[in-house]
Structure 1
Amino acid sequence: MACPTIRQRMGAGGQGRCWHFEPCSSQYIGALGTKVICDNIPGLVNQQRHLCQTYPDIMQSVGDGAKEWIRECQHQFRHHRWNCSTLDRDHTVFGRVMLRSSREAAFVYAISSAGVVYAITRACSQGELKSCSCDPHKRGRFKDERGEFDWGGCSDNINYGIKFAKDFVDAKEKMVKDARALMNLHNNRCGRMAVKRFMKLECKCHGVSGSCTLRTCWLAMSDFRKTGDYLRKKYNGAIQVTMNQDGTGFTVANKNFRKPTKTDLVYFENSPDYCVMDKSAGSLGTAGRVCNKVSRGTDGCEVMCCGRGYDTTRKTRVTKCECKFHWCCAVRCKECEDTVDVHTCKAPKRAEWLDQT
């Protein structure tokens, strides 16, 4: 079966989590049958398989959400030693780095859960799903600090997206009663609620000359970048925890730190050293990574290259230049060549560091 390629990645204990769905036409799904497709997805628990069979159209949205959150993860960490790199040959997307209960794993669980919520909610509003549409509760008159308004338009059905994401994403974690599953469930919730945090009220004014004596408003999700930026800050302030004595919650690993709230990311283990390649820890190392010679931040050569130094090569690039607007309506540019220095991190001197196992 070529089409129903749906792989689950990164779940409880690091086994499976992100879902990648190859697009199938409705005719293909109808001919093959959703049961056959869903039964061929490895790693699904019974509840996930049931949801897959009942809502095959939503599974496509889950796949769209996976692409979106992976792009966002890579954007947020593009200037860091761990840059959210995916591994084409590894079914877990990020490799063994997800086996460790680190702050990177915490971020991935949160951003992936957020991506599922975002994609499902968007699909509801766009009329792509049979089981949901616009938020049915946003009807009638309401009042905010600017006065009264009428609910209208299509409010994003965020609560439906959150509920389905919770039922589907959390199902596997709830099958396992261990510390990692509890950590995953906590970070999943952080991601889901982060999307809701940035819901915004959008309005259209009515009245003489746009006087806005009457308003029609709806609730809409903000761009997913806001969720990514927010969770990136939560990653910076993630709290290291241990399990409490009865195994139902967390205790801070360092008593000098504050207790985590429902919006804080939590993790158990310190991150691996991402400076050098270490297959056992899932670290790809930073050898060959492009760095910024003049920056003192995480993208700077000193930090990115872990003090190993960097190589410089001269490269010629072609860019658009001397662009002019011509009436009407075209912009014509010349192609200019310039030479730039590209700095890349040196590899460790000790050969055995290049391929630790």
Structure 2
Amino acid sequence: MNFLPSGICFFLSAATCWLTAKVDASWWYMGTLGSQVMCDNIPGLVNKQRQLCRQHPKVMQAIGAGMKEWISECQHQFRNHRWNCNTTARDHNLFGRLLLRGSREVAFVYAISSAGVVYTLARACSQGDLDSCSCDPTKKGSSRDSKGSFDWGGCSDHVEHAIHFSQIFVDAKERKERDARALMNLHNNRAGRKAVKRFMTLQCKCHGVSGSCSVRTCWQAMADFRRTGDHLRRRYNGAVQVAVNQYGTGFTAAHTHFKRPSKNDLVYLEDSPDYCIRDPQSGSMGTAGRLCSRASRGSDGCEVMCCGRGYDTARVSRTTKCECKFHWCCSVHCRDCQQLVDEFTCKSQT
């Protein structure tokens, strides 16, 4: 099983190393000794994280496998923006020096990664992939909702267990540091976990004569991860710049006209770079070569995306499905058609 490129440790500042360094399928067949050696050699883990890594190698495997999902979601949410959640395989972490800055983009990365851990673990529990958990054992007997009574059945996602493990593992380093950046990370980690729980839904199946629904069997299920991503993207838009209070225990708004952040808000400490020009020191990859829309006035428009540097135009050929016809029964046959279209890409800095 390949998680991410071999030898890369995905490292969220000093907080969390997501077990991608030298991780491949062979580890999981090496037994207890093998997992202990591997956990001891992953850089960035604090003692508590190493202990959990040794005790729960299959959980670590699930986390590593689930990384691709939340990274993909992050890139989907920012696909049309200067910062597009781009990753690099040439650094000690997937986001390079970006994570050294307490910006709102980093706030989103922490929140979406924390949410991704909860989502991944809860799903692995429900699917029976882990020995340490299964379906939510508290969803037993009968209950009621707005439609009446129902019996608990099926397999409810055990989100509370996933949140508990995620909180212990992900937050371990921050709880030792307790400086401004650690408080920021802890807050955004929690906001990410809460976002997954926010979209739990009650799903039911009817039983009875001719679908009369005289008896309902229901279970709690997580919504598609896209809903969590959409929610956190909105929280990113309304993120609050903060400063640590005089006691060093929490936040106050950095400016008097800013609202005080709630537990669901994302918080950040520093302004973001403009991400226009490649700057390894700030973690900016720049927008040179990025596709843009000449007709758009939004963030994906060439004027905004290219930061006023202008853009190049190239005519390219694309293959599309065309002349599709329905054939009885039941298929659709299409032709592959070549279409010439103009593509616009941002110029580099002169």
- The TM-score range, normalised by the shorter chain, is over 0.9
For 1:159, the equivalent position in structure 2 comes to 160
For 1:119, the equivalent position in structure 2 comes to 120
Taking a change above 3 Å as real, the CA distance of residues 17 and 41 of structure 1, as seen in their structure-2 partners, is closer
The residue identity in structure 1 corresponding to 2:20 is H
Q: Deviations over 1:149-187 (max 9, x none)?
A: 000000000000000111110011112121101100000
For 2:287, the equivalent position in structure 1 comes to 286
What is the SS of the residue equivalent to 1:251? strand
What is the SS of the residue equivalent to 1:7? coil
For 1:233, the equivalent position in structure 2 comes to 234
Instruction: State the Cα distance separating 1:346 from its structure 2 match.
Output: 1.3
For 2:64, the equivalent position in structure 1 comes to 63
Q: Deviations over 1:214-253 (max 9, x none)?
A: 1000000000000000000000000000111111111111
For 2:193, the equivalent position in structure 1 comes to 192
The residue identity in structure 2 corresponding to 1:11 is S
Taking a change above 3 Å as real, the CA distance of residues 6 and 24 of structure 1, as seen in their structure-2 partners, is farther
Q: Deviations over 1:98-125 (max 9, x none)?
A: 1100000000000000000000000000
17-26 vs 34-43, which deviates more? 17-26
The question of whether the paired residues in 2 share the 8 Å contact of 1:8 and 1:41 is answered with: no
The question of whether the paired residues in 2 share the 8 Å contact of 1:8 and 1:44 is answered with: no
| Identical counterparts, % of pairs | 63
Q: How does 1:304-319 map to 2 (within 5 A)?
A: 304-319=305-320
What is the SS of the residue equivalent to 1:73? helix
Q: Deviations over 1:83-102 (max 9, x none)?
A: 00000111211111111000
The question of whether the paired residues in 2 share the 8 Å contact of 1:6 and 1:41 is answered with: no
Name the count of aligned residue pairs: 346
Root mean square deviation, CA, Å: 1.8
The residue identity in structure 2 corresponding to 1:20 is T
The question of whether the paired residues in 1 share the 8 Å contact of 2:28 and 2:58 is answered with: no
The residue identity in structure 1 corresponding to 2:248 is G
The question of whether the paired residues in 1 share the 8 Å contact of 2:77 and 2:233 is answered with: yes
Q: Does 1:171 align with 2:204?
A: no
- Stretches of structure 2 that go unaligned for 5 or more consecutive residues are none
The residue identity in structure 1 corresponding to 2:326 is F
What is the SS of the residue equivalent to 2:257? coil
- Stretches of structure 1 that go unaligned for 5 or more consecutive residues are 350-357
29-38 vs 168-177, which deviates more? 29-38
Alpha-carbon separation, structure 1, partners of 2:146 and 2:212? 17
Q: Deviations over 1:273-321 (max 9, x none)?
A: 2011112111111111100111111111111111121111000111221
Q: Does 1:146 align with 2:147?
A: yes
For 1:7, the equivalent position in structure 2 comes to 9
Alpha-carbon separation, structure 1, partners of 2:145 and 2:27? 43
327-336 vs 285-294, which deviates more? 327-336
The question of whether the paired residues in 1 share the 8 Å contact of 2:111 and 2:192 is answered with: yes
- For normalisation by structure 2, the TM-score amounts to 0.94
Alpha-carbon separation, structure 1, partners of 2:290 and 2:317? 19
Instruction: State the Cα distance separating 1:18 from its structure 2 match.
Output: 4.4
